[in-house]
Amino acid sequence: MDNSAIAAVFEELAELLEFRGENPFRIRAYQNGARAIRDLDEPISEIAADSDRDLAELSGIGKTLAEKIGVLLSTGSLPQLIELRQAVPEVVIAMARIPGLGAKKAAKLHDELNIKSLDDLAAACREGKVAAIKGFGKKTESSILDGLAIAKAASERIYWAAADKIVAELSEHMRGCDGISQMQWAGSYRRCRETVGDLDLLAVANDRAAAMDHLEAYPGRASTIARGDTKISIRVAKSFQVDMRLVDADQFGAALQYFTGSQAHNIHVRRIAKERGLKINEYGVFKIEDDTRIAGATEEDVYASIGLPVFAPELREDRHEFEWAQKNELPELVELDQIQGDLHMHTSATDGQNTIREMADAAIERGLKYIAITDHSQRVTVAGGLTAERLLEQWKIIDEVRPEYEDRLTIFKGIECDILEAGGMDLPDDVLAQADWVLASVHFGQKQPRDQITDRILGAIENPHVDCIAHPTGRLINRRDPYAVDMDAVMKAAKEHGKFLELNANPARLDLNDIHLAAAKRLKIPIVVNTDAHNIDGLDVMRFGILQARRGGLTAGDIANTLDLKDFLKLRKRLGQ
b/e 133-157 (16+ beta carbons within 10 angstroms → b): beebeeebbebbeebbebbeebeeb
The pLDDT value recorded for residue 7 is 87
The pLDDT value recorded for residue 540 is 97
CA–CA distances in Å: residue 479 to residues 109, 157, 158, 321: 31, 11, 11, 31
Question: Which CATH number characterizes residue 193's domain?
Answer: 3.30.460.10
User: Residue 154 belongs to what H/E stretch?
Assistant: helix 137-154
Q: Do the domain assignments include residue 100? A: yes
Give rounded-to-5 percent helix, strand, coil for the chain. 50, 15, 35
Same domain, 238 and 260: no
Question: Which CATH number characterizes residue 316's domain?
Answer: 3.30.210.10
The pLDDT value recorded for residue 83 is 85
Q: Do the domain assignments include residue 414? A: yes
Measured at the alpha carbon of residue 529, what is the angle toward residues 523 and 530, in degrees to the nearest 5?
140
Q: Which residues share a beta bridge with 185?
A: 201
Structural domain range at position 67: 3-87
b/e 252-261 (16+ beta carbons within 10 angstroms → b): bbbbbbbbbb
Question: Which CATH number characterizes residue 22's domain?
Answer: 1.10.150.110
Q: What is the biggest distance separating any 2 CA atoms in the chain, rounded to whole angstroms?
A: 81
Question: Which CATH number characterizes residue 121's domain?
Answer: 1.10.150.20
Same domain, 96 and 82: no
Same domain, 491 and 359: yes
User: Residue 182 belongs to what H/E stretch?
Assistant: strand 180-185
Q: Which of the listed residues 246, 272, 288 is the one where a domain comes to its end?
A: 246
The pLDDT value recorded for residue 150 is 61
- Answer for the pair 185, 199: CB distance below 8 angstroms, yes or no: yes
CA–CA distances in Å: residue 197 to residues 48, 159, 190, 240, 255: 34, 9, 12, 8, 19
375 phi, psi to nearest 5 deg = -70, 165
Q: Do the domain assignments include residue 182? A: yes
User: Nearest Cα to 457, choosing from 515, 429, 418, 508?
Assistant: 418
Same domain, 41 and 23: yes
Q: Do the domain assignments include residue 221? A: yes
Q: How far is CA 117 from the centre of its chain?
A: 28
Same domain, 263 and 407: no
In angstroms, rounded to a whole number, what is the distance separating the alpha carbons of residues 96 and 102?
4
If DSSP codes are grouped into helix, strand and coil, which group holds residue 276? coil
In angstroms, rounded to a whole number, what is the distance separating the alpha carbons of residues 60 and 82?
23
- Answer for the pair 287, 278: CB distance below 8 angstroms, yes or no: yes
Q: Do the domain assignments include residue 520? A: yes
The pLDDT value recorded for residue 281 is 95
Q: Do the domain assignments include residue 331? A: no
Same domain, 177 and 96: no
* Helices first, then strands: H and E counts in the chain: 24, 17
Same domain, 107 and 204: no
Q: Which of the listed residues 274, 302, 326 is the one where a domain comes to its end?
A: 326
User: Nearest Cα to 296, choosing from 382, 371, 204, 378?
Assistant: 204
**pTM to 2 decimal places:** 0.81
- Answer for the pair 257, 308: CB distance below 8 angstroms, yes or no: no
Structural domain count of the chain = 5
Same domain, 193 and 341: no
Same domain, 404 and 275: no
Same domain, 283 and 319: yes
DSSP annotation of 577: -
Same domain, 354 and 237: no
User: Nearest Cα to 280, choosing from 251, 309, 314?
Assistant: 251
Q: Which of the listed residues 87, 109, 140 is the one where a domain comes to its end?
A: 87
Pairing of strands 278-281, 284-287: antiparallel
Q: Do the domain assignments include residue 551? A: yes
Same domain, 74 and 104: no
Q: Do the domain assignments include residue 429? A: yes
pLDDT tens for each residue of the chain, 577 residues long: 788 789 888 988 887 887 777 888 888 888 888 888 888 878 888 888 888 888 888 888 988 999 999 999 988 888 888 888 877 777 887 787 776 677 778 888 888 898 888 888 989 999 999 999 988 888 888 888 877 866 665 456 889 999 999 999 999 999 999 999 999 999 999 999 999 999 999 999 999 999 999 999 999 898 899 999 999 999 987 678 999 999 999 999 999 999 999 999 999 999 999 999 999 999 999 999 999 999 999 999 999 999 999 999 999 999 999 999 999 999 999 999 999 999 999 999 999 999 999 999 999 999 999 999 999 999 999 889 999 999 999 999 999 999 999 999 999 999 999 999 999 999 999 999 999 999 999 999 999 999 999 999 999 999 999 999 999 999 998 788 899 999 999 999 999 999 999 999 999 999 999 999 999 999 999 999 999 999 999 999 999 999 999 999 999 999 999 999 999 999 998 886 5
